[in-house]
Amino acid sequence: MTRREALALSALAAILAVTAAWWALALWPAGAETPAWVVQTRSVCFGTRADGLPGPAGWLVLVGEPIGMLGFLLAAWGGAVRDGLRALARSLPGRAVLSGGVLAPAFRSSAASARDAAATTGCET
């Protein structure tokens, strides 16, 4: 793997890590022991509603920002990202990393859906 491919994959990993952190901040259930700064940050960044979920603008940030960052990365280093992913796919450890990269967003999406369903159900009772 070339230095350029490694840098492109590092940027991709950083985007995925930041996205995971934002989703955790936005969707992690808040309780009475949650620090006030976390509650305030969620309110400002995601427009958190009474049920603890992000408002419409928050969902746009949670979904749109990673798409925008990925689009920029692919526009700038698309070839290097593709070549780096191909290089990873040639080895067993690389395939494990790629599988984790695919499964993590799928897990986040299903966890977000479950949280949304639980909050919606809780509001109706």
Band the pLDDT of 125: cuts 50, 70, 90: very low
R_g of the chain computed on alpha carbons = 17
* Residues spanned by the domain of 11: 3-124
Band the pLDDT of 123: cuts 50, 70, 90: low
Band the pLDDT of 109: cuts 50, 70, 90: low
Cα-to-chain-centroid distance, residue 65: 9
CA distance linking residue 73 with residue 45, whole number of Å: 24
Residue 51: what pLDDT? Answer: 85
* pLDDT 10s digits, 52-107: 899 999 999 999 999 999 999 999 999 999 999 999 899 888 788 878 777 776 77
The per-residue pLDDT of the chain, averaged, comes to 86
Q: How many domains does the chain have?
A: 1
The closest of 32, 27, 69 to 46, measured between CA atoms, is 27
* Percent of the chain's residues with pLDDT above 70: 86
> pTM, whole model, 2 decimals?
0.73
Structure tokens at 96: 């494990």
